[in-house]
Amino acid sequence: MANQKRIGMIAIGAVFCLLMSVPSFAAVVNPGDTVSFDFAPNHASGFPGGAFLAYDSTTHSSWYSFCLEYNEYISLGTNYTVNSVIPAAVNGGVAGGNPDPISSQTAYLFYLYATGGIAGVTGVGTGEQQAALQNVFWYLEDEIAALPSNSLTAQYLALAQTAAAGQYYGVLVVNPVNAAGGQAQSQLVYVPEPGSLLLLGSGLACLIGYRRYRRPV
């Protein structure tokens, strides 16, 4: 019996640790939350975009994001209030639109980034990879007219173009506002369905049950 309890506690701990590791690329974020942003590790010096590390002090959730608007900004380390979490940017930057829905290509590419589905990108990625991804996001959202010509932007654009039309892949847009209510730069976020997070826990629970069943009397 002691062995069974010990195994159960280890498995529960493993589930907890694995689930807690998810928020580095996924998040729990809601309208009204307080969020702040900083550059993610490996940020390319002098580049205005790239991966950001977002922190929600209301839910204590953090995640890596990319911005959507080329001509809007956030101040690093400043607290903002989340105005909405929807599949569209409010006051859509250069491209316009209010709201301005993200494309399926943008959603799919960010989904691949958040779930480790881009070959050669480990963790948050290098500064060069972050800059290439940011430029592709801006290009897909009509924020820039042309992409820098290099192998990374070509690779990421080709991946994005395999997206299924009309799908958002669990990707939404966090639209923050400053203390005066002014719209700040919108940020991408991956919010996986709750069922996908519970699936692993259910599987481990089944393994515990199987081991208990197989234990000699």
Q: Dump pLDDT digits (tens) for 151-180.
A: 999 999 999 999 999 999 999 999 999 999
The pLDDT, as a whole number, for residue 194 is 65
The tokens describing 157, both together, are: 């654009």
Instruction: List the helix and strand counts (H, then E) for the chain.
Output: 5, 8
Peptide bond into 31 cis (omega under 30): no
The per-residue pLDDT for range 37-73, each reduced to its tens digit, is 999 999 999 999 999 999 999 999 999 999 999 999 9
pLDDT of residue 24: 73
Amino acid at 185: Q
The pTM of the full predicted model, rounded to 2 decimals, is 0.81
Q: Is there a contact between 48 and 150 (Cβ–Cβ < 8 Å)?
A: no
Secondary structure (DSSP) of 131-146: HHHHHHHHHHTTSSSS
Each residue of 173-215: pLDDT tens digit? 999 999 999 999 999 999 997 644 444 344 444 444 444 444 4
